[in-house]
């Protein structure tokens, strides 16, 4: 993107593991793994057993020769235990070596010198017998490693290099019955010099640069014939969806020194198939089954996989077995989905995704793993559920390609994914001009190609994966592109390949059809409606108005009192929890806009409440503009990725929810915009439109628009009946608000309601607007923002009278999932509405209960109005506490009520 961000062993294709560690990565706690007592490895042919954990130590503290370190019985007193996937720093954090790096500037105190030498990773495993062959199967080494088994080196760091390359080492001759040892001597990482992963300008980079082993190392067992690379190529008939053809492929490999005859048999559901073939010693051959020879692989009425909200997410399973003389030699399994993804360029040159024949507006967010690459399934699943709650359909992974479990979850929940390589380090060093990242040497090209081959094999059967972006800010040159495309073709890659996430082209693929025009820092809400730069036209692969200030609860958890004081008082102060980039080092653009539009903050609490209001209106406008323009005949919007969906640490920018999964203005602004059936205001032409994000059309709708001064005086009211709108993202204009009204204050409120044909309210949307608009200086647009020369006047909100809001709540916590029902009511005696009423579920100590899914939140209540909200969450997250509900708002005194 135009961010200008700072920033052999047999190598075969594999379907491996994790970019994170097994140490607890969630927001609540971190703990070390138990000491490694040796992993018991199954003897069953076709089994894969992940090493349970390691003990690790710096080579600066270990002088013994590798042959001793990698032999059974070597003493590891003083070494650090860690889990099966762990960076060095993640292990040290889990062992309590350093203070919480997410708080204040603690991370700055961790000495980088500790990670500029290699570290040993040592693990023992036991094998009951040696009648089966044994392999080490792994990827996820950062940055490179020498590998030893039982005292012998089996691979060098020259061979085992790159975070994504996959390796299979046949160690049959070295493994014996009983205890065995594998040891990795991990080399330090530098993302500018190695094809690994870096953090660009997302957050303060970890001092160890994520050196370690961040995917499972598997011990595989099998007979003379190995099955590898099993996958299914699907061809769905579109648009009928009435049939699908499946082609099963796998590699049969004879690892013995003599010819062998094997029978490869398999099944998908009730369809079975079988072939017998003879392989010469050490020969590998492709085995395939197609509808032409297995009629059952032609499916009628197939179970088609859809994104969430468009249909179901059925999955199929392939099972394969290779037998020799009736004895099982190896097995393979693969889950897959049947779907069709196309992404042609439209007449404007923008990439337009079509899923199973239907046009798709990509509404996504940029994903960040944990900063220390720690894997926690529950924490990841919680964030993916948040994506669904927000109405998003896509997650973009710029590098940091998560483990198989991530894509399994995406498949299950119907969340689309856009994986690809990252910018601003070695991955684009050959093509990115003056940005960081070393130029490539001859040794880098095969590593990049092997990385592409491994990830293609790993991701191709996941129906949630809809593309691979082989470039980010820059497209690859001809040589690199050919290597990538050759690897993808060899892997039977089934979905579109995109040259870059920016508006760049590559020699074979041509135009990316995407844009990366920003913004990445503050701009006003009306910016999004312009069909230029980052506005709502085409496919914007990463964009937002920059800072996303967390809730006060989270700020107090992540920053010291002195830092919090500086946060609201000094816009020019460098903020450690924003970015290492000089461009994004302060909050000045954001703070100037906050003061210019809402008035200078009077306290930390005032700063945070104004921030939540500003973030709500801006994020809402971003998604609403892209949704409204999606079906335009000229220059339609085709995709938008909010930058970013989440942060890998405690951050002040680029996040729809914070590290601890608390929700504020940015979250609920996105959620409001992405309602299934939604009424919204257009900042560019004052139109009030209804957007239908469902497949089915709607008719008999009623839209009402009412304008108020901040004191609640009504200045305009209009109701339009008989509104109808087509589905699949279409919009219908119900009315246009007048350009001026007598007596309308410079700051005013707009309340929009949408009712269905039965009279039930299905959407309500409240805006705070100004008769004096924000003015953009388009001629001085930079890569990260467009200057605002004058601000909208929203200061009138500060004069709103305080309004009491009553609340009653009750909780059903009888099962694993608890539900708290809250009824809030504006009990004020005057005309003033309660603006931006926020309800937080808290425990007895006032700490937020997270994660939580609300039916709605941050609502506007006019006098006498009542709304009932529900919060759903895990009962266990109460930790035995009695739940309470904290109610606050823009002009509502905070109060907490019981919710038992």
Closest by CA to 584, choosing from 594, 592, 574, 569, is 574
Round to the nearest angstrom and report the end-to-end CA distance of the chain.
49
Contact 167, 216 (CB under 8 A): no
Give Cα separations from 227 to 51, 272, 330, 674 (angstroms): 21, 17, 6, 45
Contact 279, 300 (CB under 8 A): no
CB 311 within 8 A of CB 333: no
CB 655 within 8 A of CB 644: yes
| Cα 640 from Cα 541, distance rounded (Å) | 6
String of DSSP letters for 597-617: HH---SSHHHHHHHHHHHHHH
Give the helix/strand (H/E) hosting 228: strand 225-236
Q: What is the 3-state secondary structure (H, E, C) of 33-97?
A: CCCCCCEEECCCCCCEEECCCEEEEECCCCCCCHHHHCCCCCCCCCCEEECCCEEHHHHHHHCCC
What is the spatial distance between Cα 291 and Cα 268, in angstroms, rounded to a whole number? 13
Whether 542 is catalytic: yes
DSSP string computed for 781-820: --SS---EEE----GGGGGPPP--EEEEEEEE-SSSEEEE
DSSP 219: E
DSSP 303-343: -B---TTTS----EEEEEEEEETTEEEEEEEEEE-B--EE-
Question: Within 13 A of 818's CA, how many CA atoms are on the CB side?
Answer: 25
Question: What secondary structure, in 3-state letters, does 661-698 show?
Answer: CCCCHHHHHHHHHCCCEEEEECCCCCEEEEEECCCCCE
SS3 625: helix
Cβ contact 118:187 at 8 Å = yes
Contacting residues for 748 by C-beta, under 8 A, at least 6 apart: 707, 708, 709, 710, 715, 768, 769, 770, 771, 796
H or E segment to which residue 490 belongs: helix 478-490
Cross-strand bridge partners of residue 136: 169, 219
Residue 420 near residue 498, CB atoms below 8 Å: yes
The alpha carbons of the chain give a radius of gyration, in whole angstroms, of 29
> What's the number of CA atoms in the CB half-sphere (13 Å) around residue 567?
27
Residue in 36, 146, 473, 692 annotated catalytic: 473
Going from the C-alpha of 831 to that of each of 138, 598, 884, 894, the distances in angstroms are 66, 22, 29, 20
Cα gap 793→748, rounded to integer Å: 10
Torsion-angle region of 140 (φ positive above 0: left; ψ -120 to 50: alpha; else: beta) = left
- The token pair at 617 is 């209106």
Name the nearest CA neighbour of 635 among 753, 541, 503, 529. Answer: 529
Q: Which of 542, 658, 662, 675 is catalytic?
A: 542
Q: Where are the alpha helices (DSSP H) in 702-772?
A: none
Q: Are 642 and 364 in contact (CB under 8 A)?
A: yes
Question: Residues near 687 by Cβ (< 8 Å), separated by ≥ 6?
Answer: 681, 733, 735, 736, 737
Quick check: 138 and 215 in contact, CB under 8 A? yes
Contact present, 316 and 273 (Cβ < 8 Å): no
CA atoms of 472 and 479, how far apart (whole Å)? 17
The residues that are catalytic are 473, 542
């Amino acid at each position: 993107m135009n961010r200008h961000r700072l920033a052999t062993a047999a190598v075969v294709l594999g379907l491996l593991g994790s970019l994170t560690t097994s140490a607890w990565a969630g927001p609540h706690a971190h703990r070390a793994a138990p000491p490694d007592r040796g992993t018991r490895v199954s003897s069953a042919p076709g089994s894969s057993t992940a090493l349970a954990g390691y003990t690790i130590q710096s080579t600066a503290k270990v002088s013994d020769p590798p042959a001793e370190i990698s032999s059974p019985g070597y003493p590891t007193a003083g070494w650090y235990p860690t889990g099966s996937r762990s960076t060095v720093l993640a292990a040290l954090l889990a062992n309590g070596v350093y203070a919480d790096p997410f708080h204040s500037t603690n991370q700055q105190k961790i000495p980088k010198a500790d990670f500029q030498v290699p570290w040993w990773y040592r693990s023992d495993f036991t094998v009951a017998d040696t009648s089966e062959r044994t392999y080490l199967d792994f990827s996820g080494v950062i940055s490179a490693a020498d590998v030893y088994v039982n005292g012998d080196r089996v691979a060098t760091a020259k061979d085992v290099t790159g975070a994504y390359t996959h390796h299979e080492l046949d160690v049959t001759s070295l493994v014996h019955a009983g205890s065995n040892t594998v040891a990795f001597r991990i080399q330090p990482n530098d993302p500018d010099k190695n094809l690994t992963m870096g953090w660009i300008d997302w957050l303060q980079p970890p001092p160890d640069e994520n050196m370690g082993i961040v995917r499972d190392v598997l011990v595989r067992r099998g007979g003379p014939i190995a099955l590898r690379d099993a996958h299914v190529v699907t061809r769905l008939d579109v648009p009928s969806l009435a049939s699908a053809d499946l082609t099963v492929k796998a590699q049969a490999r004879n690892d013995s020194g003599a010819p062998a005859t094997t029978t490869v048999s398999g099944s998908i559901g009730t369809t079975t198939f079988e072939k017998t073939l003879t392989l010469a010693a050490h020969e590998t051959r492709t085995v395939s089954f197609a509808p032409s020879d297995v009629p059952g692989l032609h499916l009628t009425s197939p179970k088609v996989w859809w994104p969430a909200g468009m249909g179901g997410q059925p999955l199929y399973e392939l099972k394969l077995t290779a037998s020799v003389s009736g004895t099982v030699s190896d097995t393979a399994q693969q889950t897959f989905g049947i779907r069709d993804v196309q992404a042609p360029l439209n007449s404007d040159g923008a990439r337009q995704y079509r899923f199973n024949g239907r046009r798709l507006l990509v509404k996504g967010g940029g994903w960040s793993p944990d900063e220390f690459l720690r894997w926690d399934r529950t924490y990841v699943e919680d964030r993916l559920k948040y994506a669904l709650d927000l109405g998003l359909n896509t997650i973009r992974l710029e590098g940091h390609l998560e483990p198989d479990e991530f894509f399994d979850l995406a498949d299950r929940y119907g969340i689309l994914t856009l994986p690809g390589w990252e910018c601003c380090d070695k991955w684009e060093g050959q093509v990115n001009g003056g940005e960081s990242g070393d130029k490539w040497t001859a040794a880098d090209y095969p590593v990049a190609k092997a990385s592409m081959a491994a990830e293609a094999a790993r991701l191709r059967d996941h129906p949630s994966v809809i593309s691979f972006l082989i470039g980010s800010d820059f497209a690859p040159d001809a040589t690199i592109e050919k290597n990538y495309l050759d690897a993808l073709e060899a892997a039977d890659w089934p979905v579109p390949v995109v040259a870059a996430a920016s508006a760049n082209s590559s020699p074979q693929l041509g135009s990316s059809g995407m844009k990366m025009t920003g913004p990445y820092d503050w701009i006003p809400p009306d910016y999004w409606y312009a069909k230029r730069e980052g506005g709502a036209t085409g496919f914007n692969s990463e964009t937002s108005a920059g800072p996303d200030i967390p809730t006060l609860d989270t700020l107090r958890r992540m920053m010291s009192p002195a830092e919090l004081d500086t946060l609201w008082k000094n816009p020019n102060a460098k903020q450690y929890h924003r970015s290492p980039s000089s461009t994004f080092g302060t909050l000045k653009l954001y703070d100037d806009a906050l003061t210019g539009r809402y008035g200078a903050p009077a306290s930390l609490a005032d700063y945070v409440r104004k921030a939540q209001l500003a973030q709500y209106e801006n994020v809402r406008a971003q998604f609403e503009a892209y949704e409204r323009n999606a079906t335009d005949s000229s220059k339609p919007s085709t995709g938008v990725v909010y930058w970013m969906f989440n942060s890998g640490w405690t951050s002040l920018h680029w996040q729809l929810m914070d590290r601890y999964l608390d929700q504020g203005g940015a979250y609920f602004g996105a959620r409001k915009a992405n309602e299934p059936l939604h009424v919204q205001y257009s900042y560019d032409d004052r139109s009030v439109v209804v957007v239908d994000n469902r497949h089915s059309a709607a008719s008999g709708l009623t839209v009402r628009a009412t304008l108020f001064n901040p004191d609640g005086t009504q200045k305009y009211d209009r109701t339009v009946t008989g509104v109808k709108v087509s589905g699949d993202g279409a919009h219908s204009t119900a009315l246009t608000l007048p350009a001026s009204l007598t007596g309308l204050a410079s700051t005013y409120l707009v309340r929009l309601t949408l009712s269905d044909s039965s009279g039930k309210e299905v959407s309500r949307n409240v805006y705070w607007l100004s008769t004096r608009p924000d003015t953009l200086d388009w001629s001085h647009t930079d890569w990260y923002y467009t200057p605002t020369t004058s601000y909208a006047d929203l200061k009138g909100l500060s004069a709103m009278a305080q309004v009491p809001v009553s609340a009653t709540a009750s909780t059903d916590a009888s099962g694993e999932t608890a539900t708290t029902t809250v009824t809030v009511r504006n009990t004020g005696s005057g005309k003033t509405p309660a603006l931006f009423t926020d309800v937080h579920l808290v425990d007895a100590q006032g700490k937020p209960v997270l994660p939580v899914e609300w039916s709605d939140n941050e609502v506007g209540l006019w006098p006498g109005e009542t709304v009932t909200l529900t919060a759903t969450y895990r009962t266990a997250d109460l930790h035995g506490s009695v739940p309470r509900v904290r109610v606050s708002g823009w002009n509502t005194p905070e109060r907490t009520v019981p919710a038992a």
